[in-house]
Structure 1
Amino acid sequence: MPKLCKFTSPADGKPVYVNPAQVSVVYTFKGEPPDTIIGFRKDFMLGVRESLEETVKILDKAMAEESAGD
């Protein structure tokens, strides 16, 4: 199982942890301010404070580390 990735909740600033193997989509919702959304399958979306680029970088790094450990 890949290492969990730590992100920040935009609502209260508390940490949230994500299993990168379960992420199906990452996108920016154009609100004010824009939110980065991590989607798991079709029924669960999680907003995080990190930028889209930073979120993708964190998830990619965790998956690469998992692949290297196989």
Structure 2
Amino acid sequence: MAEEKKYKLDRTAFQAMRVEEADNYMRDYRNYHWKERLKISFFLTSLAYGFDINNPPKMDKTIFKLSTQADD
């Protein structure tokens, strides 16, 4: 089995900003189509976690299980 890479959030990839600055960013992206915003968010996620956007990590599907019973 191939060695599993551990991805860790790179807290230096982004900067803190004031509420007003964040509000301006939000207004800039509001005019984008939702598909383009999704691409942008995936790109930012790849920067934050340091993975290649063209080769994203695979989800480990062995840690989840499907249940057919409703939670009480």
TM-score class, shorter-chain normalisation, is 0.3 to 0.5
Relative contact order, CA 8 A, sep 6+: which one is greater?
Answer: 2
TM-score with structure 1 setting the length:
0.33
The structure with the greater share of residues assigned to strand is 1
The structure with the greater share of residues assigned to helix is 2
Larger Rg: 2
TM-score with structure 2 setting the length:
0.33
